[in-house]
Chain A
Amino acid sequence: MRLFALVLVLAGCGERGTAVRVRADFDTAMSLQQLRFSGERWFGPEVRPGAAEGVLQSGGELLVWLPDDASGDVRCVVEGLVGGKVVARGETRVRLVPGREVPAVVTLACMAPGKGPGRLGRCDD
């Protein structure tokens, strides 16, 4: 039984390649409705959810599958949207490892005029 499970795990891993798991952290007071993920030439821009359905919660993740031979550094950018307009932004740089999933935690901050970089809180204050 254990051997069978191991075979299943190995079979599953064989189909998987290089990936980056992008997590978006932000102050829920920002009232973000959508997130736009991008990773230089590797992926995006990709807006999730596709349609605004309400205020998002922090900590959401997008798993991005990349080509098996993807390597090097990638700058992951996440933008927070309210009403289709970018109000917050964050980015981080991660090093891809071929055949592995690497985490990329992005902390978003307000982009509104007068707000200093890294300032958290509702963006239309």
Chain B
Amino acid sequence: MSMTRSILLLVSAVTAQEQFDAAEHAYDLGQFDRARRLYTEAYELDPRPGLLFNIGQCHKKLGDWSQAAFFYRRYLARTPKGEGVEKLQELITEMDAKAAALAQQRPQPPPAPVPAPTTPSTVKKAALSLEPSPAPPRPPTFATPTVEAALADKPLYREWWVWAAAGTATTATLAGVVAASVAASQQRLPRYGELDAR
């Protein structure tokens, strides 16, 4: 029974890791909604507090300020003694302020219908008077889902070394993949099979 439980936990951990990796990939590509969904699935399999922060980061990138604040709070609740708590509180305050500002910008619901009869022309005028709902703000992308990156004063994408590091990492990764492929094709570790001694 304990073995089955251990296997279940192991499978969950492996699957959660896969979901996390996929989420990181999506985040790197700026696919924040997909990343949010994958982080959520990873959390369902393996509820690590850091995933809550990452989900909050995705909401922030999507302009869902209130949701971002919610997940930042959940992260704080799960890691009360973690580092960067004060700065995270500031982040929550910022998200709350943005959510409040966005709520004020939203158009007020139309007034209750007036009992007096209206003509088609007046209805059209009323409809035209409604301002279109503002599109949710899109903060800059290309940030990593870490507390430090989120709290940095200067956006990471404006740092020259980020681009240099990204270029170097990409080149190194490609070189590594090619080298590994060549090595794998030239040399394979020997396998001596299995021996059944039961």
| Contact, CB under 8 Å: B15 / A62 | no
Interface string of B87-111 (1 = CB under 8 A from A): 0000000000000000000000000
Q: Which of A41-49, A85-93, A106-114, A115-123 contacts B (4 or more CB under 8 A)?
A: A41-49
Decide if A2 touches B191 in the complex (CB within 8 Å).
Answer: no
Chain B at the A interface: SS class: mixed
Q: Is the CB of B191 within 8 A of A60?
A: yes
- Bound-state CA distance A46–B191 (Å) is 14
Chain A's interface size range is 20 to 34
State the 9 A-B residue pairs at the shortest beta-carbon distance, nearest first.
Answer: A60-B190, A43-B197, A48-B192, A62-B192, A63-B194, A64-B195, A59-B189, A65-B196, A67-B198
* Cβ-defined partner of A60 (8 Å) among B192, B194, B196, B198: B192
Q: Which of A10, A56, A59, A67 contacts B7 (CB 8 A)?
A: A10
A103 lies within 8 A of chain B by Cβ: no
Per the bound structure, the CA–CA distance linking A61 and B197 in Å amounts to 16
Q: CB-nearest residue of chain A relative to B197?
A: A43
Residues of chain A having any CB pair with chain B under 8 Å? 2, 6, 9-10, 13, 17, 35, 37, 39, 42-44, 46, 48-49, 56-57, 59-68, 99
Which of B3, B8, B197 is in CB contact (< 8 Å) with A42? B197
Answer whether residue B118 sits at the interface, using C-beta atoms and an 8 A cutoff.
no
